[in-house]
């Protein structure tokens, strides 16, 4: 069945380069999550507001982010915006695409969490003399993050998996990009991508495990 000699040593020799790529992967994922969370909080507030001028753009963002492929969103940032004369390099385009996607999904997560927090809490804060922004920041937001922490972790893992799409717009520095670059020079596709798959699996598991540890530290009473 296998008339093929596997060359694992060649793949292992590439390991240092791939680990460097993994760092870039993590960097994109962390940055896109940080910006995604910030935008998502804003979008959630906008979607919950009474003004249709605030609601409409936030709703449009969320629905487009959730109903089109992530790859389409990255293409839009890379090729689409270039049509407007705004050229984003592959790294920025990937980051923008994933951030857009993260923000859309996280907005709905946060809205769900906000629904679970009784309105009386914010009012209790207000009656103690807090301003509206203060009550949101000190009373509502910490609970919102606590409730939405498991889906946040999932989204982080998703963000890591999504970074692999950077190679389709020509990013050559993240884990998939480095692997593809090595592949085009050595043609050891199976060995190299098998190693990349193992690395992705380890990163995903490390992030999920780290998040559980963090949740245990952050959210105990």
Nearest distance, CB of residue 84 and other proteins, angstroms: 6
Q: List the end-to-end C-alpha distance of the chain, in Å, as a whole number.
A: 59
Closer to other proteins by CB, 25 or 135: give it: 25
Closer to other proteins by CB, 3 or 120: give it: 3
Touching other proteins, residues 152-191 (CB under 8 A): 157, 161-165, 167-168, 176, 189-190
Instruction: Return the range that interacts with other proteins (CB under 8 A); candidates 15-23, 60-68, 119-127, 134-142.
Output: 60-68
Candidates 34, 116, 132, 197: give the one binding other proteins (CB under 8 A): 197
Kindly state whether residue 117 participates in binding other proteins, applying the rule CB under 8 A: no
Nearest distance, CB of residue 76 and other proteins, angstroms: 5
**What is the C-alpha to C-alpha distance for residues 125 and 202, in angstroms, rounded to an integer?**
43
Structure tokens at 40: 């998502």
Instruction: Return the range that interacts with other proteins (CB under 8 A); candidates 10-18, 43-51, 75-83, 89-97.
Output: 75-83
Instruction: Return the range that interacts with other proteins (CB under 8 A); candidates 29-37, 51-59, 124-132, 194-202.
Output: 194-202
Kindly give the interhelix angle for 15-48 and 52-67, rounded to the nearest 10 degrees.
150
Long-range contact list for 196-200, CB < 8 A, 24+ apart?
196/18, 199/18, 199/19, 199/22, 199/175, 200/160, 200/161, 200/164, 200/175
**What is the C-alpha to C-alpha distance for residues 15 and 30, in angstroms, rounded to an integer?**
22
Nearest distance, CB of residue 200 and other proteins, angstroms: 5
Nearest distance, CB of residue 172 and other proteins, angstroms: 15
For 136, which DSSP code?
I
Number of H helices, E strands in the chain: 11, 0
Nearest distance, CB of residue 145 and other proteins, angstroms: 24
Touching other proteins, residues 13-52 (CB under 8 A): none
Residue 168 CB neighbour total at 10 angstroms: 16
**What is the C-alpha to C-alpha distance for residues 162 and 112, in angstroms, rounded to an integer?**
24
Q: Which residues bind other proteins (CB under 8 A)?
A: 1-4, 63-64, 66-72, 75-76, 79-84, 157, 161-165, 167-168, 176, 189-190, 193-194, 196-197, 200-201, 204-205
């Amino acid at each position: 069945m296998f008339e093929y000699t596997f060359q694992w040593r060649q793949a292992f020799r590439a390991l240092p380069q791939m680990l460097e790529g993994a760092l870039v992967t993590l960097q994109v994922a962390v940055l896109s999550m940080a910006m995604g969370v910030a935008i998502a909080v804003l979008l959630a507030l906008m979607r919950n507001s009474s003004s249709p001028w605030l609601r409409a753009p936030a709703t449009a963002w969320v629905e487009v982010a959730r109903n089109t492929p992530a790859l389409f969103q990255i293409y839009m940032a890379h090729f689409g915006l270039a049509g407007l004369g705004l050229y984003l390099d592959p790294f920025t385009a990937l980051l923008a695409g994933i951030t857009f996607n993260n923000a859309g999904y996280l907005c709905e997560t946060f809205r769900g969490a906000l629904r679970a927090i009784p309105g009386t809490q914010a009012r209790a804060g207000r009656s103690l003399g807090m301003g509206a922004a203060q009550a949101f920041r000190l009373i509502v937001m910490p609970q919102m993050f606590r409730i939405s922490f498991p889906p946040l972790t999932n989204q982080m893992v998703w963000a890591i998996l999504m970074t692999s799409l950077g190679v389709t717009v020509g990013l050559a520095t993240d884990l998939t990009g480095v692997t593809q670059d090595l592949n085009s020079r050595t043609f050891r596709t199976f060995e190299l991508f098998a190693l990349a798959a193992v690395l992705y699996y380890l990163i995903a598991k490390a992030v999920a495990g780290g998040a559980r540890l963090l949740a245990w530290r952050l959210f105990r009473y």
